Structure 1
Amino acid sequence: MAASFLHLVSSIFGWVYTLCWSLSFYPQPILNFRRRSTTGTTVDFPAINVVGFLAYFISNTAFLYSPQIRNQYALRHHGLTPTVQINDMAFAAHALLTCLATISQFVPGLWGFDKKGRKGPGSRVSSGILGIVVGSFLGVGIVAIIVAARHDPDPKTGWAAIDVIYAVSYVKLFITLVKYMPQVLTNYRNKSTHGWSINQILLDFVGGILSICQLGIDSYLQGDWSGVTGNPVKFALGNISVFFDIIFMIQHYCVYRGKRGTAFSEDEEEPLLNGQLNGQTNGRPSNGSS
């Protein structure tokens, strides 16, 4: 009876966290659209998210539907099945699509946004983020070459296809470690969170908590905490997201509360501040950042 109840709770937590994390991708592009501008945010975040969620989708799909990967996982984890759930794959697919949509808002002329918002820092993908993307592909490629060259007979102790999938999943983990920093620094530079939607952070925070809870429940039901160690990316994603969400909430509600910053031009409309799509202009000087 208790096990059935926990299975139900796990399923509810899984789909609620999927809903929260999925909805968290909408406030920012909606905010950009309503302001007709991308000032206050950086393209680095959605750009690196595309690579991260592509990797997450590939790894989740492999753990869910590849007989070879599932068999190798069982060999390494006491005969257990991966703790990846279908809601994990659904979330990754949806996140990938919404990040692509957000990136498109930085394309000149596509959405008809104010051109001033695409000229400052953050309007183009930084060299550091490009380096991470290239390094991620190289890392996975190296692991794939090693697996292909070794031909180890025992996937439990030797190199196997599952190691390539783990390498892909670690791309997502590493990207999650660094992807929030450009926006944290942008908020710090602007001395404001204006243009950066706090609603996406609140949804992300709830989703992170529930994701960790679901993983813990699933591992408890299996009677083996290797369900956590066997799915380190999901565990780390939840914890890292919560950590940075707390930083963003401190920036928004404490450090820069009520501050407009210096990232906005004299004639830029701010409809979300005055509740109108045709808002009044502000008197702040522009420093050209975005």
Structure 2
Amino acid sequence: MGSWNSVGMEVAYQVLGWLAFVSWSISFYPQAILNFRRKSVVGLNFDFLVLNMTKHSSYLIYNAGLFFSRDIQRQYHEKYGYEQMIPVAPSDVAFSVHAVALTALTLCQVLIYDRGNQKVSKTCVAITSIVWVSALVCLIVAWPKHSWLWLISVFNTIQVVMTAIKYIPQAFMNFRRKSTVGWSIGNILLDLAGGLLNFAQMAVQSIDQGSWVNFYGNIGKTLLSLEVVVFDLLFIFQHYVLYPIRKEEHNPTNIEEQVDVSAPLMKSTDESNASHSANV
């Protein structure tokens, strides 16, 4: 089995991994806190959340499978060589567990807070359904031959595809509204830091081993970090350059007016009609 050649590199690998875990994990909280402060999820795209849950669930299956299963680890070494190290760290598993939990919490906020006229699109429902039905079919195919490495690689592919898809609804929503109000930039900045730290962690292991198998043996983690960096830079550009938030928009009482102008008008009209009826 592969082992570390340098204690310093091993320490750096663990430190970078846990820093990425902290950065990525904390990145979930600004949005949840923003929703709590506003008692509203207007401006947060629901398709993003549903696709994000599919993505993180798939990534958890991959990370936990490769980290805990001896059979999957054996199949990995048979494919890439017994001198290679398993490319999943404890911090990867911890992040996946935390990500699923926090995404579920945010989905619960959608159920209890004001969501205006927003809803999950039929396209998102269709994509999610196709993904999980396909995963079930792959499980049925893999079971007789115990092709577990192939199966978790399928889930790794799913999380890569979902990562690419999940950001698109929010980016388009920001473009259509010409605003990023209701979408936490703190989430994006921490997400970007996590992606960069993830790249650094993988580079440390590759340098120590003198091999780049770490990158293509866990291509999902490589592509995940790349996608995160690209989309986060897009959101940062939208937030600070294309649609900068004016000072008055920082006031939570004004956010709803910026996000959905029709909602307050409809509410005001209903209250006026109710008041008129009471007077009559």
Query: Fold match, TM over 0.5?
Result: yes
| 1:54 counterpart letter in structure 2 | S
Q: What is the aligned partner in structure 2 of residue 27 from structure 1?
A: 30
Cα distance change, pair 187–144 in 1 and its aligned pair in 2 (3 A): same
Distance 1:22 1:207 in 2: 9
Q: What is the aligned partner in structure 1 of residue 129 from structure 2?
A: 134
The answer to whether the 8 Å contact 2:13/2:205 transfers is: yes
Deviation at 1:215, TM superposition (A): 1.1
Q: What is the aligned partner in structure 2 of residue 70 from structure 1?
A: 73
**Given the alignment of the two structures, is residue 206 of structure 1 paired with residue 193 of structure 2, yes or no?**
yes
Stretches of 4+ aligned residues off by more than 4 angstroms? 279-285
Q: What is the aligned partner in structure 2 of residue 154 from structure 1?
A: none
Q: What is the aligned partner in structure 2 of residue 89 from structure 1?
A: 93
What's the TM-score, normalizing by structure 2? 0.85
Q: What is the aligned partner in structure 2 of residue 155 from structure 1?
A: none
The answer to whether the 8 Å contact 1:21/1:91 transfers is: yes
Q: What is the aligned partner in structure 2 of residue 242 from structure 1?
A: 229
Deviation at 1:237, TM superposition (A): 0.8
Distance 2:5 2:76 in 1: 27
| 1:228 counterpart letter in structure 2 | F
**Given the alignment of the two structures, is residue 273 of structure 1 paired with residue 280 of structure 2, yes or no?**
no
The answer to whether the 8 Å contact 2:42/2:256 transfers is: no
Distance 1:10 1:48 in 2: 30
Q: What is the aligned partner in structure 2 of residue 50 from structure 1?
A: 53
Q: SS at the partner of 2:40?
A: coil
| 2:133 counterpart letter in structure 1 | L
Q: What is the aligned partner in structure 1 of residue 268 from structure 2?
A: none
Q: What is the aligned partner in structure 1 of residue 149 from structure 2?
A: 162
The answer to whether the 8 Å contact 1:18/1:88 transfers is: yes
**Given the alignment of the two structures, is residue 119 of structure 1 paired with residue 77 of structure 2, yes or no?**
no
Distance 1:280 1:184 in 2: 22
Distance 1:170 1:68 in 2: 20
Q: SS at the partner of 1:50?
A: helix
Unaligned runs of 5+ in 2: 265-280
Identical-pair percentage:
32
Superposition RMSD on alpha carbons, in Å?
A: 2.4
Cα distance change, pair 239–281 in 1 and its aligned pair in 2 (3 A): closer
Residues paired across the two proteins, number? 259
**Given the alignment of the two structures, is residue 104 of structure 1 paired with residue 122 of structure 2, yes or no?**
no
| 1:273 counterpart letter in structure 2 | H
| 1:206 counterpart letter in structure 2 | A
Distance 1:71 1:230 in 2: 14
Distance 2:137 2:256 in 1: 52
Cα distance change, pair 259–188 in 1 and its aligned pair in 2 (3 A): farther
Q: What is the aligned partner in structure 2 of residue 266 from structure 1?
A: none
1:242-261 to structure 2, matched below 5 A, reads 242-258=229-245
Distance 2:204 2:236 in 1: 28
**Given the alignment of the two structures, is residue 222 of structure 1 paired with residue 222 of structure 2, yes or no?**
no
Q: What is the aligned partner in structure 1 of residue 274 from structure 2?
A: none
Cα distance change, pair 282–69 in 1 and its aligned pair in 2 (3 A): closer
Q: SS at the partner of 2:174?
A: helix
Q: What is the aligned partner in structure 2 of residue 264 from structure 1?
A: none
Distance 2:105 2:194 in 1: 21
What's the TM-score, normalizing by structure 1? 0.83
Deviation at 1:49, TM superposition (A): 1.3
Q: What is the aligned partner in structure 2 of residue 146 from structure 1?
A: 141
Counting helix residues as a fraction of each chain, which structure ranks higher? 2
**Given the alignment of the two structures, is residue 15 of structure 1 paired with residue 18 of structure 2, yes or no?**
yes
Distance 1:282 1:99 in 2: 23
Deviation at 1:166, TM superposition (A): 0.5
Q: SS at the partner of 1:106?
A: helix
Deviation at 1:160, TM superposition (A): 2.0
The answer to whether the 8 Å contact 1:82/1:231 transfers is: no
